[in-house]
Structure 1
Protein backbone atom coordinates (compact mmCIF):
# COMPACT_ATOMS: atom_id res chain seq x y z
CA UNK A 1 0.00 0.00 0.00
CA UNK A 2 1.42 3.38 -0.99
CA UNK A 3 0.25 7.01 -0.80
CA UNK A 4 -1.31 7.14 -4.30
CA UNK A 5 -3.38 4.02 -3.55
CA UNK A 6 -4.43 5.43 -0.17
CA UNK A 7 -5.60 8.62 -1.89
CA UNK A 8 -7.55 6.53 -4.38
CA UNK A 9 -9.27 4.58 -1.59
CA UNK A 10 -10.09 7.83 0.20
CA UNK A 11 -11.71 9.07 -3.04
CA UNK A 12 -13.97 6.01 -3.08
CA UNK A 13 -15.19 6.69 0.45
CA UNK A 14 -15.70 10.42 -0.23
CA UNK A 15 -18.87 9.53 -2.14
CA UNK A 16 -20.74 9.04 1.13
CA UNK A 17 -20.14 12.46 2.73
CA UNK A 18 -20.64 14.17 -0.63
CA UNK A 19 -24.09 12.56 -1.00
CA UNK A 20 -24.99 13.07 2.67
CA UNK A 21 -24.16 16.78 2.49
CA UNK A 22 -26.07 17.44 -0.74
CA UNK A 23 -29.33 18.37 0.96
CA UNK A 24 -27.82 19.88 4.10
CA UNK A 25 -24.96 21.93 2.69
CA UNK A 26 -24.57 21.89 -1.12
CA UNK A 27 -21.57 24.21 -0.94
CA UNK A 28 -19.67 21.81 1.33
CA UNK A 29 -20.78 18.88 -0.81
CA UNK A 30 -19.38 20.57 -3.92
CA UNK A 31 -16.14 21.47 -2.18
CA UNK A 32 -15.71 17.84 -1.08
CA UNK A 33 -16.34 16.78 -4.66
CA UNK A 34 -13.62 19.17 -5.86
CA UNK A 35 -11.30 17.69 -3.22
CA UNK A 36 -12.13 14.20 -4.51
CA UNK A 37 -11.32 15.31 -8.07
CA UNK A 38 -8.05 16.76 -6.81
CA UNK A 39 -7.09 13.45 -5.18
CA UNK A 40 -7.52 11.84 -8.61
CA UNK A 41 -5.00 14.27 -10.06
CA UNK A 42 -2.72 14.07 -7.02
CA UNK A 43 -2.52 10.28 -6.81
CA UNK A 44 -1.44 10.07 -10.45
CA UNK A 45 1.17 12.80 -10.08
CA UNK A 46 2.65 11.22 -6.95
CA UNK A 47 2.65 7.75 -8.49
CA UNK A 48 4.49 8.92 -11.61
CA UNK A 49 6.90 11.32 -9.87
CA UNK A 50 7.98 8.88 -7.15
CA UNK A 51 7.71 5.71 -9.24
CA UNK A 52 4.82 4.37 -7.14
CA UNK A 53 2.73 3.18 -10.11
CA UNK A 54 1.31 -0.22 -9.17
CA UNK A 55 -1.03 -2.79 -10.66
CA UNK A 56 -3.40 -2.16 -7.75
CA UNK A 57 -3.36 1.54 -8.54
CA UNK A 58 -4.00 0.91 -12.24
CA UNK A 59 -7.05 -1.11 -11.23
CA UNK A 60 -8.32 1.06 -8.36
CA UNK A 61 -7.93 4.50 -9.93
CA UNK A 62 -10.46 4.11 -12.76
CA UNK A 63 -12.73 2.14 -10.42
CA UNK A 64 -12.66 4.99 -7.89
CA UNK A 65 -13.55 7.48 -10.62
CA UNK A 66 -16.52 5.36 -11.68
CA UNK A 67 -17.75 4.89 -8.11
CA UNK A 68 -17.48 8.62 -7.41
CA UNK A 69 -19.24 9.83 -10.55
CA UNK A 70 -21.83 7.05 -10.86
CA UNK A 71 -22.61 7.10 -7.14
CA UNK A 72 -23.43 10.81 -7.28
CA UNK A 73 -25.30 10.58 -10.60
CA UNK A 74 -27.37 7.69 -9.26
CA UNK A 75 -28.32 9.76 -6.24
CA UNK A 76 -29.33 12.60 -8.59
CA UNK A 77 -31.65 10.17 -10.37
CA UNK A 78 -33.13 9.14 -7.01
CA UNK A 79 -33.76 12.86 -6.36
CA UNK A 80 -35.43 12.98 -9.82
CA UNK A 81 -33.05 15.62 -11.17
CA UNK A 82 -33.03 13.83 -14.52
CA UNK A 83 -34.07 10.62 -16.22
CA UNK A 84 -32.43 7.31 -15.29
CA UNK A 85 -31.63 6.59 -18.95
CA UNK A 86 -28.72 9.04 -18.73
CA UNK A 87 -27.06 7.05 -15.95
CA UNK A 88 -27.93 3.77 -17.66
CA UNK A 89 -26.12 4.88 -20.82
CA UNK A 90 -23.11 6.05 -18.81
CA UNK A 91 -23.07 2.75 -16.89
CA UNK A 92 -23.28 0.83 -20.16
CA UNK A 93 -20.27 2.71 -21.55
CA UNK A 94 -18.27 2.19 -18.36
CA UNK A 95 -18.97 -1.56 -18.27
CA UNK A 96 -18.07 -1.90 -21.96
CA UNK A 97 -14.78 -0.01 -21.53
CA UNK A 98 -13.97 -2.03 -18.40
CA UNK A 99 -14.57 -5.22 -20.39
CA UNK A 100 -12.37 -3.92 -23.19
CA UNK A 101 -9.68 -2.98 -20.68
CA UNK A 102 -9.75 -6.45 -19.10
CA UNK A 103 -9.63 -8.17 -22.50
CA UNK A 104 -6.65 -6.08 -23.54
CA UNK A 105 -4.81 -6.71 -20.26
CA UNK A 106 -5.08 -10.45 -20.92
CA UNK A 107 -3.21 -9.77 -24.16
CA UNK A 108 -0.59 -7.66 -22.39
CA UNK A 109 -1.98 -4.34 -23.64
CA UNK A 110 -2.70 -1.49 -21.22
CA UNK A 111 -5.57 0.71 -22.35
CA UNK A 112 -4.34 4.28 -21.89
CA UNK A 113 -6.56 7.20 -20.98
CA UNK A 114 -7.32 8.95 -24.26
CA UNK A 115 -8.08 12.65 -24.64
CA UNK A 116 -11.72 11.86 -25.39
CA UNK A 117 -12.00 9.99 -22.07
CA UNK A 118 -10.37 12.84 -20.17
CA UNK A 119 -12.72 15.35 -21.82
CA UNK A 120 -15.67 13.13 -20.88
CA UNK A 121 -14.50 13.08 -17.26
CA UNK A 122 -14.05 16.86 -17.21
CA UNK A 123 -17.60 17.48 -18.44
CA UNK A 124 -19.05 14.88 -16.07
CA UNK A 125 -17.29 16.55 -13.15
CA UNK A 126 -18.40 20.04 -14.19
CA UNK A 127 -22.01 18.95 -14.68
CA UNK A 128 -22.00 17.28 -11.24
CA UNK A 129 -20.75 20.52 -9.67
CA UNK A 130 -23.45 22.48 -11.49
CA UNK A 131 -26.09 20.12 -10.12
CA UNK A 132 -24.63 20.23 -6.61
CA UNK A 133 -24.71 24.02 -6.63
CA UNK A 134 -27.93 24.32 -8.68
CA UNK A 135 -26.28 26.48 -11.33
CA UNK A 136 -27.82 27.27 -14.72
CA UNK A 137 -27.05 25.10 -17.76
CA UNK A 138 -26.52 22.01 -15.59
CA UNK A 139 -28.75 19.84 -17.80
CA UNK A 140 -27.02 21.08 -20.96
CA UNK A 141 -23.62 20.23 -19.45
CA UNK A 142 -24.92 16.81 -18.45
CA UNK A 143 -26.13 16.12 -22.00
CA UNK A 144 -22.76 17.27 -23.39
CA UNK A 145 -21.03 14.93 -20.95
CA UNK A 146 -23.34 12.11 -22.02
CA UNK A 147 -22.52 12.72 -25.69
CA UNK A 148 -18.80 12.80 -24.88
CA UNK A 149 -19.20 9.64 -22.79
CA UNK A 150 -20.77 7.75 -25.68
CA UNK A 151 -18.35 9.19 -28.23
CA UNK A 152 -15.30 8.26 -26.17
CA UNK A 153 -16.68 4.76 -25.64
CA UNK A 154 -17.13 4.27 -29.38
CA UNK A 155 -13.70 5.75 -30.03
CA UNK A 156 -12.01 3.39 -27.55
CA UNK A 157 -13.62 0.44 -29.33
CA UNK A 158 -12.75 1.83 -32.74
CA UNK A 159 -9.12 2.31 -31.76
CA UNK A 160 -8.56 -0.79 -29.58
CA UNK A 161 -11.44 -3.17 -30.25
CA UNK A 162 -9.74 -4.71 -33.28
CA UNK A 163 -6.99 -5.99 -30.97
CA UNK A 164 -9.43 -8.32 -29.23
CA UNK A 165 -11.66 -9.42 -32.11
Structure 2
Protein backbone atom coordinates (compact mmCIF):
# COMPACT_ATOMS: atom_id res chain seq x y z
CA UNK A 1 0.00 0.00 0.00
CA UNK A 2 1.32 3.38 -0.95
CA UNK A 3 1.72 6.06 1.67
CA UNK A 4 2.85 9.67 1.81
CA UNK A 5 6.33 9.39 3.27
CA UNK A 6 8.28 11.90 1.17
CA UNK A 7 7.68 14.32 -1.68
CA UNK A 8 9.83 16.68 -3.65
CA UNK A 9 8.94 19.77 -5.62
CA UNK A 10 10.06 19.51 -9.19
CA UNK A 11 9.38 20.96 -12.58
CA UNK A 12 5.92 20.53 -14.09
CA UNK A 13 5.25 16.98 -15.26
CA UNK A 14 2.29 15.38 -16.99
CA UNK A 15 -1.29 16.44 -16.36
CA UNK A 16 -2.85 14.98 -13.21
CA UNK A 17 -5.67 13.52 -15.32
CA UNK A 18 -3.36 11.67 -17.70
CA UNK A 19 -4.31 7.99 -17.61
CA UNK A 20 -7.45 8.54 -15.50
CA UNK A 21 -9.17 5.64 -17.29
CA UNK A 22 -6.36 3.11 -16.92
CA UNK A 23 -7.24 -0.30 -15.41
CA UNK A 24 -5.19 0.32 -12.23
CA UNK A 25 -7.11 3.53 -11.59
CA UNK A 26 -10.43 1.75 -12.10
CA UNK A 27 -9.37 -0.70 -9.39
CA UNK A 28 -8.82 2.28 -7.11
CA UNK A 29 -12.28 3.67 -7.98
CA UNK A 30 -13.86 0.31 -7.11
CA UNK A 31 -11.95 0.27 -3.84
CA UNK A 32 -13.41 3.68 -2.95
CA UNK A 33 -16.90 2.30 -3.68
CA UNK A 34 -16.19 -0.65 -1.38
CA UNK A 35 -15.17 1.79 1.34
CA UNK A 36 -18.52 3.57 1.10
CA UNK A 37 -20.38 0.27 1.50
CA UNK A 38 -18.09 -0.65 4.39
CA UNK A 39 -18.93 2.61 6.18
CA UNK A 40 -22.67 1.92 6.00
CA UNK A 41 -22.36 -1.68 7.20
CA UNK A 42 -19.91 -0.91 10.01
CA UNK A 43 -22.07 1.96 11.29
CA UNK A 44 -25.28 -0.07 11.16
CA UNK A 45 -23.78 -3.14 12.85
CA UNK A 46 -23.44 -1.28 16.16
CA UNK A 47 -20.72 -1.40 18.81
CA UNK A 48 -18.97 -4.77 18.74
CA UNK A 49 -21.66 -5.92 16.28
CA UNK A 50 -24.48 -5.82 18.83
CA UNK A 51 -27.05 -4.80 16.20
CA UNK A 52 -25.99 -7.36 13.59
CA UNK A 53 -23.05 -9.74 13.66
CA UNK A 54 -23.70 -10.49 10.00
CA UNK A 55 -23.24 -6.84 9.05
CA UNK A 56 -20.15 -6.67 11.25
CA UNK A 57 -18.56 -9.68 9.58
CA UNK A 58 -19.42 -8.30 6.14
CA UNK A 59 -17.92 -4.93 7.09
CA UNK A 60 -14.74 -6.65 8.29
CA UNK A 61 -14.55 -8.64 5.05
CA UNK A 62 -15.01 -5.52 2.92
CA UNK A 63 -12.36 -3.73 4.97
CA UNK A 64 -9.86 -6.50 4.26
CA UNK A 65 -10.80 -6.69 0.56
CA UNK A 66 -10.57 -2.91 0.13
CA UNK A 67 -7.16 -2.89 1.79
CA UNK A 68 -5.86 -5.89 -0.16
CA UNK A 69 -6.89 -4.65 -3.61
CA UNK A 70 -4.34 -1.88 -3.23
CA UNK A 71 -1.73 -4.45 -4.16
CA UNK A 72 -3.66 -5.24 -7.34
CA UNK A 73 -3.71 -1.72 -8.74
CA UNK A 74 -0.03 -1.29 -7.88
CA UNK A 75 0.79 -4.58 -9.63
CA UNK A 76 -1.18 -3.65 -12.74
CA UNK A 77 0.35 -0.18 -12.85
CA UNK A 78 3.89 -1.57 -12.75
CA UNK A 79 3.28 -4.53 -15.06
CA UNK A 80 1.67 -2.49 -17.83
CA UNK A 81 3.69 0.67 -17.21
CA UNK A 82 0.56 2.63 -16.30
CA UNK A 83 1.80 4.43 -13.20
CA UNK A 84 0.07 7.82 -13.19
CA UNK A 85 0.18 10.89 -10.98
CA UNK A 86 -3.58 10.51 -10.46
CA UNK A 87 -3.07 6.93 -9.32
CA UNK A 88 -0.30 7.97 -6.92
CA UNK A 89 -2.68 10.55 -5.47
CA UNK A 90 -5.94 8.57 -5.40
CA UNK A 91 -4.40 5.39 -4.00
CA UNK A 92 -3.42 6.88 -0.61
CA UNK A 93 -6.67 8.87 -0.54
CA UNK A 94 -8.60 5.60 -0.85
CA UNK A 95 -6.47 4.20 1.97
CA UNK A 96 -7.13 7.24 4.15
CA UNK A 97 -10.87 7.21 3.49
CA UNK A 98 -10.95 3.58 4.64
CA UNK A 99 -8.72 4.18 7.66
CA UNK A 100 -10.33 7.44 8.80
CA UNK A 101 -13.88 6.07 8.54
CA UNK A 102 -12.89 2.97 10.53
CA UNK A 103 -11.13 5.04 13.21
CA UNK A 104 -14.00 7.50 13.66
CA UNK A 105 -16.72 4.84 13.80
CA UNK A 106 -14.66 2.73 16.22
CA UNK A 107 -14.22 5.72 18.52
CA UNK A 108 -17.91 6.62 18.31
CA UNK A 109 -18.71 3.05 19.35
CA UNK A 110 -16.20 3.25 22.22
CA UNK A 111 -14.03 0.55 20.66
CA UNK A 112 -10.96 2.80 20.30
CA UNK A 113 -9.61 5.78 22.25
CA UNK A 114 -10.50 9.17 20.81
CA UNK A 115 -7.01 10.51 21.52
CA UNK A 116 -5.53 7.88 19.19
CA UNK A 117 -8.08 8.61 16.49
CA UNK A 118 -7.44 12.36 16.72
CA UNK A 119 -3.68 11.89 16.37
CA UNK A 120 -4.21 9.63 13.36
CA UNK A 121 -6.56 12.18 11.81
CA UNK A 122 -4.25 15.14 12.36
CA UNK A 123 -1.40 13.37 10.65
CA UNK A 124 -3.39 11.80 7.81
CA UNK A 125 -5.45 14.86 6.90
CA UNK A 126 -2.54 17.26 7.35
CA UNK A 127 -0.21 15.28 5.09
CA UNK A 128 -2.94 14.77 2.49
CA UNK A 129 -3.61 18.53 2.31
CA UNK A 130 0.12 19.11 1.92
CA UNK A 131 0.24 16.58 -0.91
CA UNK A 132 -2.47 18.50 -2.77
CA UNK A 133 -0.51 21.72 -2.26
CA UNK A 134 2.70 20.18 -3.59
CA UNK A 135 0.96 18.74 -6.66
CA UNK A 136 -0.72 22.08 -7.33
CA UNK A 137 2.73 23.71 -7.28
CA UNK A 138 4.04 21.20 -9.83
CA UNK A 139 5.56 18.79 -7.33
CA UNK A 140 6.01 15.06 -7.81
CA UNK A 141 4.28 12.44 -5.64
CA UNK A 142 6.68 9.60 -4.93
CA UNK A 143 6.46 6.19 -3.27
CA UNK A 144 6.38 5.29 0.40
CA UNK A 145 9.34 5.04 2.75
CA UNK A 146 9.87 1.81 4.74
CA UNK A 147 8.38 3.43 7.86
CA UNK A 148 5.32 4.48 5.87
CA UNK A 149 4.85 0.99 4.48
CA UNK A 150 5.10 -0.64 7.92
CA UNK A 151 2.75 2.01 9.33
CA UNK A 152 0.14 1.11 6.72
CA UNK A 153 0.57 -2.62 7.33
CA UNK A 154 0.10 -2.36 11.10
CA UNK A 155 -2.70 0.18 10.68
CA UNK A 156 -4.77 -2.11 8.49
CA UNK A 157 -3.92 -5.22 10.51
CA UNK A 158 -4.92 -3.64 13.83
CA UNK A 159 -8.13 -2.13 12.48
CA UNK A 160 -9.12 -5.36 10.73
CA UNK A 161 -8.68 -7.21 14.03
CA UNK A 162 -10.72 -4.54 15.82
CA UNK A 163 -13.58 -4.60 13.32
CA UNK A 164 -13.83 -8.38 13.21
CA UNK A 165 -16.13 -9.48 16.10
CA UNK A 166 -13.58 -11.80 17.69
CA UNK A 167 -13.24 -10.44 21.24
CA UNK A 168 -14.68 -13.67 22.60
CA UNK A 169 -11.71 -15.76 21.43
CA UNK A 170 -9.76 -14.78 24.54
CA UNK A 171 -8.85 -12.01 26.97
CA UNK A 172 -5.60 -11.51 25.05
CA UNK A 173 -7.25 -10.54 21.77
CA UNK A 174 -8.27 -6.94 22.49
CA UNK A 175 -4.96 -5.92 24.19
CA UNK A 176 -3.05 -7.41 21.23
CA UNK A 177 -5.26 -5.51 18.81
CA UNK A 178 -4.78 -2.26 20.72
CA UNK A 179 -1.01 -2.81 20.87
CA UNK A 180 -0.83 -3.19 17.08
CA UNK A 181 -2.85 0.02 16.63
CA UNK A 182 -0.56 1.92 19.02
CA UNK A 183 2.48 0.68 17.09
CA UNK A 184 0.80 1.86 13.88
CA UNK A 185 0.24 5.27 15.49
CA UNK A 186 3.93 5.58 16.42
CA UNK A 187 4.95 4.70 12.86
CA UNK A 188 2.26 7.06 11.53
CA UNK A 189 3.71 10.02 13.42
CA UNK A 190 7.29 9.06 12.58
CA UNK A 191 6.64 8.67 8.85
CA UNK A 192 4.72 11.96 8.92
CA UNK A 193 7.84 13.60 10.36
CA UNK A 194 9.90 12.02 7.59
CA UNK A 195 7.52 13.45 5.02
CA UNK A 196 7.69 16.95 6.46
CA UNK A 197 11.47 16.82 6.59
CA UNK A 198 11.56 15.65 2.97
CA UNK A 199 9.41 18.59 1.91
CA UNK A 200 10.79 21.40 4.06
CA UNK A 201 14.08 20.23 5.56
CA UNK A 202 15.91 19.82 2.26
CA UNK A 203 14.97 23.30 1.11
CA UNK A 204 17.22 24.96 3.64
Q: Which runs of 5+ in 2 are unaligned?
A: 1-20, 46-51, 168-172
Number of corresponding residues: 165
> What is the TM-score normalised by the length of structure 2?
0.72
- 1:120 paired to 2:159: no
In our comparison, the structure showing a higher alpha carbon Rg is 2
Aligned to 1:159: 198
Aligned to 2:3: none
Over the aligned positions, Cα root-mean-square deviation in angstroms equals 2.0
Describe the shift of the 1:142–1:47 C-alpha distance in structure 2 as closer, same or farther (beyond 3 A): same
Displaced runs of 4 or more, over 3 A: 19-22, 102-105
Q: Counterparts of 2:115 and 2:139 in 1: how far apart (Å)?
A: 34
Aligned to 2:30: 10
> What is the TM-score normalised by the length of structure 1?
0.88
Q: After superposition, where does 1:67-146 map in structure 2 within 5 Å? A: 67-105=97-135, 106=137, 108-133=139-164, 134-135=166-167, 136=173, 137-146=176-185
- 2:88, 2:142 within 8 Å by CA — same for their partners in 1? no
- 1:4, 1:43 within 8 Å by CA — same for their partners in 2? yes
Q: Counterparts of 2:133 and 2:142 in 1: how far apart (Å)?
A: 10
- 1:100, 1:161 within 8 Å by CA — same for their partners in 2? no
Q: Deviations over 1:63-104 (max 9, x none)?
A: 111001111111111111122221211111113322443444
Q: Which runs of 5+ in 1 are unaligned?
A: none
Which one of the candidate residues 85, 88, 91 is aligned to 1:55? 85
- 2:107, 2:113 within 8 Å by CA — same for their partners in 1? yes
